[in-house]
Chains A and B, each alone.
Chain A
Amino acid sequence: MSLDLLFDPLFRLPFITGLLLAGLLPLIGMYLRLRGEWLAALAFAQMASAGALVAMVMDVPMLLGGALAALVAALVKGLMARAGAHAYALMMLAAWGAGVLLVANHPLAEQAGHALFDGQLYFTGEAHLVASVVAWGVAAPVLGWLNRSLLLAHVFPEFHRARGLDPRPRLMVFDVLAGMVIALATVSIGVMAAFALVFVPPLIASRFARSWRAGLALAALVGMLGYSAAFVLSLGFDQPFGPACALLLVGLVVVSSVKSDRL
């Protein structure tokens, strides 16, 4: 295992980009988990990857293609709220099918497809870092603004409606925000790494946190620590980042389950 590359300036930018996203994705995941919609994260990620590949073939920035596809997914999710997990499954299947066919039939898409599916975050550039900083700047205050509405919609679904207020616009804002952040993460660190960072840290945080606020902080911390460890391991052992990140986070769940059972 060689760790020399860790100190190479070439890898600082992708590391910082991923670290920012690893702190933000679990926050989105906490609200998706609250609403029982964590599977939507995978649908957003798959749609974003397909959109990014289509954009690449059309010579459009992949980030833009991913974001547009995720926006469509967020709108579909909002409009088909009653369909729930069915809509997410259909979006995942459609996006996966389109993505794989594109990779199989277009030489340009092949390398990008592997980067998206394997999670080769070393291809991330300055645009991804800037977008990640902007995402934090937007998402932090918006999530703070949405926090009460999202919690109320789950705990007291009648609260707003009984007062003549429609909660759906705020829920739609959250869907769009989640879609944009997950799209950015997908094109930066890959489909399954993005999904793992949305899903696993909230799972651990929800088990151990003593309050909602503490849960948000713990989820972000677990995400950033897990990501950092996965980055070091994948670079040190010259392995693709996506699988390393997913396996490490799943390992954390297993370890924390044992710890939780003993408490």
Chain B
Amino acid sequence: MGEVLLRVEGLVAGYATPVAGPLAFTLRRGEILGLAGPNGAGKSTLLKALWGGVKVFAGQVRKPPGMRISHQAQGFTDLRGIPLTGRELLALTGAPSEGLPPWLAERLGLRLDRLSGGQLQFLRLWACLMAPADIVLLDEPSNNLDRAGVDYLADWLGRAHAGQGIVIVSHDPALIERVCTRVVQVDAGSAQG
């Protein structure tokens, strides 16, 4: 059993008012935990609550001191007109380019606004996933990815994540089932795992 990275107890989170939880789980190094559930259940809100990105109304998130968290959020920052290359993007988070799929590795020198939505999504995902971190939080990582992208991501997660603890939020049950070592079901109103 790997080191405990996160211990979540009775977590209720939201913005002006609570919108998600309660949620309870423990994440260990080497685990990939899936948060599954329907749209609107508050999965993304709970993911943000793990590092203090939203208001916590009840419960707590405990982690050893010095834990580095990397969070891949849903949605795109508008990068049109910003002359930033894929290589420069990876350098920002400290992510290496080794291991990228060939169809993306050969395009690293291009500006991000010259990439397709799927290529940009995979690159953003890679920049967060491979940033030096103990805990990686992925929010709907398969959005905008084609079958090849999802397959590459799933294969990579299956064989190369041992050093980290990963929490994945997804409404895609196939991805959750394929890559996660454990799944917590998040329903509107309650969550336990």
Contacts and interface: CB of A to CB of B under 8 A. Distances in A.
B16 interface: no
A152 B76 CA distance: 13
A204 B182 CA distance: 50
A26 to B, nearest CB: 13
A156 B93 contact: yes
Given A155-B92, A210-B111, A205 B83 contact: yes
A210 B112 CA distance: 10
A75 B51 CA distance: 28
A47 to B, nearest CB: 27
Contact of B71 (A158, A212, A214): A158
Nearest to B89: A155
B70 A212 contact: no
A215 B112 CA distance: 14
B83 A215 contact: yes
Interface residues of A, number: 25
B85 interface: yes
A210 B88 CA distance: 11
Contacts of A212: 82-85, 88
Given A155-B77, A156-B93, A162 B83 contact: no
Interface string B62-95: 0000001111010001010111110111001100
Looking at A154, A161, A162, A209, which has the most chain B CB atoms within 10 Å of its CB?
Answer: A162
B169 interface: no
Contacts, number: 74
Interface in A152-181: 152, 154-159, 161-164
Nearest to A155: B77
A135 B182 CA distance: 56
A152 B92 contact: yes
Contacts of B124: 156
Contacts of A206: 81-83
Contacts of B68: 163
Contacts of B111: 210-211
B137 interface: yes
A161 B89 CA distance: 18
A125 to B, nearest CB: 37
Contact of B77 (A157, A207, A213): A157
A141 B85 CA distance: 22
A151 interface: yes
11 contacts: A151-B92, A154-B82, A156-B73, A156-B92, A158-B51, A162-B71, A210-B83, A210-B85, A211-B84, A211-B111, A213-B88
